[in-house]
Each structure stands twice: as structure tokens, then as C-alpha cells.
Structure 1
């Protein structure tokens, strides 16, 4: 029970800022297409004073840096390093991860074909600020990819950058944390081979293809929130046609 309560506290802190912006339409009885928007946000930040991140993330990203422990606005203990201690390699690593993790994801689902088109905008004010602060050249990135689920959702065909991959949909990926099966945990392997435990919240009214990442085989609903160490996803809008 204590573990579940801790998860709910974390999720509450994440979800509250987005409640005023969500535009999620009720699910109609019949529809052929679904449009959705997710925002992916980095969990670390940069300002004129320095770099702030989870202490575990510090140890993974920059094992060579000694950080100061400080209290965040939400009351959590995080790490801080002043700008003067960040060399060029540190700065490039930070901006690269901010480009990857500060995005807006636009999804279009063809329900009949079990096909999802993702258009991803990698620009954000936070990322732009970091590049300007570090005086690094910045490329504006946008990407597109298709997911098509086949053989009763047991296989996933992924098309991106003119390449095609076919993967098995991993079974029983979610470890459920409540009886309603709306809060769960799953493991993921990030770049560099680092494994991390993530928390995901589902919304029972949402179709299962509403998700910013490949769907979970043992989940029957769409994704509301995902919280990982480096980033989090939040559903902003859903509409039906």
C-alpha cells in the first residue's frame, strides 16, 4: 500500500499542471479515426544558474560531476551543478537529451487498419533556451513514423526513416499496482543500456491505441500519463471522426 501511495503522490504532482489544458472528447459509440496529442517533457532543467536533475540521473549521465543536493519547488531532493562546472561535452549531452525529451506528439489512428501515424515536433522553449545558453548550434527537428499492429496485436510493424522493423508485442509488460488495472509499472532500456522502472496511468474511457509508445499487450485502455526518470508523457487532447 505504501508503494501505491507513493506512486499516486508522484502522479498527482505531474497531472495537476495539465488539467487546465486537456481537451479530451468523450469516446463516441462509433468512429473510424482517432486524433490525439501528447506532450513529452524532460524531468531535468537548465537555467542561468546551472543544471538540475534527479540524483540518480546525475549518476548515470555525469558520473564525473559532483552535485549539490537541493530541495525542488515540489519538495523533492534533486541534484544541482552550477554552469561553471559544465564542460562542452556535458552541455552537448544535456541539449541532445532535451531535444529527445521535450516534444509534442501528434497521433492519427486508422481504427480499421490498426495503424497509427506519429508526427513528432522536437522544438520547445526549454530546449531553445538551453542551446542559446550554451551557445551551441541547433537543428530544428521533426520526425514521422507509422505503427501498424498485425495478427491480433501480436506483431508491430514500425516504419520510420525509410526503414521497416517488425517486432513482437511483449506480453505481460505491465505489472499492475491497483485492482482496477489503471496504474502499472514497466521496465524499459534507455540509450546507453540503462534500465529504468516507469509508471504508467491508463484512462478507462480511452481506446487502447491512444498511446505515445507501442501499446502494452496486457492493457485494454489508452494511456493518460507515463512517468520515467528522464521524462514524462501527458495526454493533452483526443478527438474522434
Structure 2
């Protein structure tokens, strides 16, 4: 568990400090439109997959990796070429990318005091995904609704939905300064320390479905051990 926490802090704080790219919300706004992207912390190209060695050990326990320099980031990482993967491993890797590489398009309505988020698989991955994994890249979809009047979050999947009271799912952020902090979460029965970055220019309704007891601003980045989610655009109408 200590190793997981250490990785998250080193990864996030080395990439987390930057000035705001977003303007303050104007007056008399009726809606906020915003978009996030989610990416797996594994990276892949035509040759194979790359990632932190602990990520391999947690997600692909039976895969033997080699160590080399990450092609996009400045650190020594694990690497497994597609050429040595059996079909079962390849299917698992495909599933990781398919369910991690997501676009979230959201609208907050001030009058209704409700946010509606539509999540779809990232179409930019289609060609490479199909060529490497030999699979159809069907669109993975689900929806999230945050009802601030009733304090209820509902996540709608194609065949089932889940409803939570805000008080059941709110997290507490441990702030390191005014906009950067960490919070704990559970994933696959493991306690993880996640990085969060907010922006003082943005209203707190800008969130990809995460709710916090002690946050007053919009969320621009969240990195857990498995994925990195970033705010890409904001517009006011």
C-alpha cells in the first residue's frame, strides 16, 4: 500500500502544478458545458504496452515485463510487446484500454441545479485499437446525473443503474495548498491515494461525478493509480 501511495504522489505532483487555463465564470449564466478525458495510465503503441512496474503487477500479474525508458514520459517503466502476449492477456489489455479511455461530456443547469454527464469511449483510439487487438470498437456508453436539490447521484449503465446519496459517497481532500491535494479511495479492494487538482477560477459544479466535503472549486485533474482524468474544455451559456 505504501508503494501505491508513493507512486501516485510522485506521478501527480511532478505533473500537477501549472497556472489556470480557464477564465472565471461570467454573470447571469444559465448553463455550464464542460468536458473531461480519461486515459489509462498504461500507454500503448503499435509495438506493445508501457507502464509503471507496480501497475503491471496489480493489473497483469502473470505477465513478464522488461524495463526500459517510457516513450512519452521521463521514467523507467515496464514494457510488454504484443508479439509475446497470448490471446487471454491481449483480451485483458484490450478491456483495460476500452474501459479506461473515456470522454465525459457534461452540462450543469443552474435552474434545475442538476448536472448530466454522458460518458462514451474515445473514438481517437478506434483505428489503432482495431489494428492491434483485432476487435470491433463498439461505443461504450453510460450516463451520470448529479441532482443537487435531492443530493442524489445516479449512474445509468445500459442494463442497470445505481443511486447514491451524496453523504454516502463524498470524499475528504487533504489539501497541500489552495488547489492541489489528495484523497483516499478504494479500487479492487485496495486503498489508493489519489491526486486532485482544482482551479480557483472554476465553480465547484465542474466535476466528473466526484463529490467532496471540502472543495469549493472546479476540478481540473484527478489521477488514481489506474487512470488520469483531465478537464479539457469549459463554456458558459
TM-score of the superposed pair, with normalisation by structure 2: 0.84
What is the aligned partner in structure 2 of residue 202 from structure 1?
198
Q: 2:28 aligns with which of 24, 27, 30?
A: 30
Partner of 2:50: 52
Q: Which residue number corresponds to residue 122 of structure 2?
A: 123
Q: Output the CA distance in 2 between the equivalents of 1:134 and 1:230.
A: 20
Instruction: Report if aligned partners of 1:25, 1:239 keep a CA contact under 8 Å in 2.
Output: no
How far is 1:168 from its partner? 3.4
Q: Distance in 2 between matches of 1:25 and 1:41?
A: 25
Unaligned runs of 5+ in 2: 1-7
Q: How does 1:70-219 map to 2 (within 5 A)?
A: 70-72=68-70, 73-126=72-125, 128-150=127-149, 155-161=151-157, 163-169=161-167, 170=169, 173-178=172-177, 180=178, 182-190=179-187, 192-219=188-215
Q: 1:85-140 CA deviation, whole Å, 9 max, x = no partner?
A: 31222112211121222121111001233311111221333354133212123322
Aligned Cα root-mean-square deviation (Å): 2.7
CA distance in 2, matches of 1:135, 1:84: 13
- Measured against aligned partners, the alpha-carbon deviations of 1:65-92 in whole angstroms (never above 9, x if no partner) come to 1211112243212110122331222112
Q: Distance in 2 between matches of 1:159 and 1:47?
A: 32
Between 168-177 and 204-213, the greater mean CA deviation after superposition: 168-177
Deviations 1:120-167 (A, max 9, x none): 22133335413321212332223323121246xxx3331414635122
Greater than 4 Å deviation, 4+ residue runs: 3-7
Count of residue pairs the alignment pairs up: 227
Kept in 2: contact 1:37–1:105 (CA 8 A) = yes
Specify the alignment match of 1:43 in structure 2: 41
Runs of 5+ consecutive residues of structure 1 not aligned to the other structure: none
Corresponding position of 1:223: 219
TM-score, normalised to structure 1's length? 0.82
Q: Partner of 2:66 in structure 1?
A: 68
Quote the Cα distance in structure 2 between the aligned partners of 1:210 and 1:135.
37
State whether structure 2 residue 13 is matched by structure 1 residue 8: yes
CA distance in 1, matches of 2:190, 2:128: 27
